[in-house]
Amino acid sequence: MSKAKSGCTSEHDEGEGARKHECVLQYYLSGFTRNHDKNSRLYVVDSAREHAFVSTPQSVVAERDFAQIGIDAEDPRFADLSYAQFESELASALARLDRKGDFFGDTDRALILRLIAELVVLNPDRTEMMRQYKQERARRLSELAIANRQGWESQKEKAAAAGIEGAADFTYEKLMNFVERNDETIAAHTTGHLARDLQSVTTLHNLLHRRSWMVARAARGSGGFITSDRPVTLTWDDMEMEAGFYAPGFGLQGTSVFFPLTKDLVMRGRFDGRVGTLALPVTSVAGINSRTVFYAGHQIYAETESFRFLDEHLVMRRGQDLLPMLQRSR
């Protein structure tokens, strides 16, 4: 990935703020192309249009309404850093990271974390999507939950230990009440949603700095990592919690943040003190790609259609199988 030039052009310029974020998104998506260039080939799977096609990072960003909100808050760490300089420094940091397979230093890490924060905040619909998903899943699991009081108490204890407000007070009796009334009171307990907890990129950037980060490289022949229009994924580490009622939050213990950096690298952030690098086999790469697919909005991006992912039966599939699977699941 070559060093970025100051500024960029866009066919979909709706103002200075939008243009700035479009430039950064072009640089980011370029990392998933063969030549690391905004005009290089990018394979796109669009679930909304039920179509797979070849495009470029520049065209994708121009067509998509990524920059939905502006950012007024400025991180003190970047007080003297203009946005044009941020574009250039971010591109250089990504290039160094791609070559080394690890952070070159604290400054590069801070730049990447700022990118993650912006990608999250610039996708406000992600919060509503997660709220609806968790609420719908809560309804489906409610009958199982009231049938197993011991399991519910275990999940409640884990949620309270992770720091979720109100978890300790949400008793088994209240759960039964919720099921019997079939209302939406459960939504009040999904306190991890970004829109209510984070007001700016600065706040999220600070939360991300509290995590320890590992960088993993995809094995040769794996097809590499993919990304999406919602590339930052946040999940519970505990499978019982992940299948339960409580949504994860960026500041909560027992959670992981995954972020595909390039077609070769992915970041994972936890509160476990683990840092450094590791190499991932094909099966692990496929598993992370499946997570990216699951949390995507409408579009998934890859270098080619040869990437791997796991289907609902944990069978490894190729990228060309993804669109037919999404169509069948509708």
Residue 97 reports pLDDT greater than 70: yes
- Alpha-carbon distance of 321 to 328, in angstroms, equals 11
DSSP labels for 97-120? Answer: HHHHSS-SSHHHHHHHHHHHHHHH
Model confidence over 1-20: pLDDT tens digits? 444 443 454 444 444 444 55
Q: Higher confidence at residue 53 or residue 62?
A: 53
Residue 306 reports pLDDT greater than 60: yes
Model confidence over 195-222: pLDDT tens digits? 444 466 788 889 999 999 999 999 999 9
Domain residue ranges in the chain: 16-125+194-328, 126-189
CA dihedral over 192, 20, 22, 224, signed as positive or negative = negative
Tell me the pLDDT of the chain averaged across its residues: 77
To the nearest 10 degrees (0 to 180), the angle between helices 172-181 and 125-146 is 100
The predicted pLDDT at position 140 comes to 56
Residue 193 reports pLDDT greater than 90: no
Residue type, 206: N
4 DSSP 8-state letter: P
- Rg over alpha carbons for the chain, rounded to the nearest Å, is 20
CA distances from 274 to 104, 271, 301, 326 (A): 17, 8, 29, 35
Residue 260 reports pLDDT greater than 90: yes
DSSP three-state, residue 307: coil
Return all residues near 149 (Cβ < 8 A) that are at least 6 apart. Answer: 172
CB neighbours of residue 85 within 10 Å: 12
Model confidence over 125-184: pLDDT tens digits? 555 555 555 565 555 555 555 566 676 677 777 777 777 766 677 776 776 666 655 544
- Alpha-carbon distance of 54 to 39, in angstroms, equals 11
User: Given the DSSP bridges, would you call strands 276-280 and 212-218 parallel, antiparallel or unpaired?
Assistant: parallel
Residue 30 reports pLDDT greater than 80: yes
DSSP three-state, residue 54: strand
3-state DSSP: the chain helix, strand, coil percent, rounded to 5? 45, 15, 40
Range with the poorest average pLDDT among 30-39, 182-191, 204-213, 236-245: 182-191
- Alpha-carbon distance of 229 to 195, in angstroms, equals 18
CA angle, residues 195, 197, 203, in degrees to nearest 5: 100
DSSP three-state, residue 49: coil
The predicted pLDDT at position 143 comes to 57
Residue 84 reports pLDDT greater than 90: no
* pTM, rounded to two decimals: 0.72
CA distances from 210 to 131, 272, 273, 330 (A): 25, 10, 10, 39
